[in-house]
Every structure is written in structure tokens, then in C-alpha cells.
Homo-oligomer: A and B are copies of this chain.
Amino acid sequence: MHDHGTDMDAFQKERERLNEVVMSYAGMPIKRFYSLDAQAYREGALPVGTKEMLGLVASLVLRCDDCIKYHILRCHEEGISDEQLVEALTIGLIVGGSITVPHMRRALDAWDSLKNGRGKAKAERSRK
């Protein structure tokens, strides 16, 4: 019913379409900002996974669903574990308060869907 894998594909596709629109209008500063943004998340003194969790928590407390979804995808690609992700989100929840709860819910739903039906939530539900 909730075919999240497909949701994530649609999210990525729409994101690409919109970035094309941006690039067709962008002057030099916007292009430089995009490149700077990519640079900030590259491996350095901190591993990429940690940087993606930093981006995720910043996005959670600022409550931007698109940004959260993107960093959830990247955390998944970087092999962040369930426990690490939940601890990062917990810090966002405590810092940002209950106003972040709807975003945390969607973050964990996206995370769960990336596991393609092998996620905890589905297993839990099937046990009921």
C-alpha cells in the first residue's frame, strides 16, 4: 500500500527536474553555492557518514522535509546503522522539541522504506 521505494524514486526524479530548472536560470553565485554545498560533505577530518548525520540533524531542527529525505537517502548509502540514525534523530528531537516530531516520523518512514519491506516497522506489524 505504501510503496515507499517508488516514492523515493519519484522524489529523486522530481528533484533532478527542478535542479534543471534552477540551472537554466542560475547565475554564477547560485552555481557556486551548489558546488560549495557538495564540497562541504566530502570526506575530510570527519567521515562522510558523520557529515551526512550533521546535515540530517540540521535539516530536522530546521524542519525541511525535502532536505531530511535527501540526507536519509545519503545516510543509508553511507551504511549508517539503525542505532546510529536513531541517536542522531534523538538529538534533533531534544534540541528542536515536539515541533520536529512530524518530520522525525516522515524521516523514519523514509528510512524504513529504503529497507524495501525488510524494515523493522513491517516486521513489527506482521507480528501483530
Contact = CB atoms under 8 A, between A and B. Distances in A.
Contacts of A73: none
Interface string A12-26: 000101111111111
A78 interface: no
A83 B53 contact: no
B104 A29 contact: no
A21 B109 contact: yes
Interface residues of A, number: 75
A67 B102 contact: yes
Contacts of A53: 46, 50, 54
A66 interface: yes
A79 B10 CA distance: 34
Nearest to A43: B87
A64 B82 CA distance: 26
A8 to B, nearest CB: 15
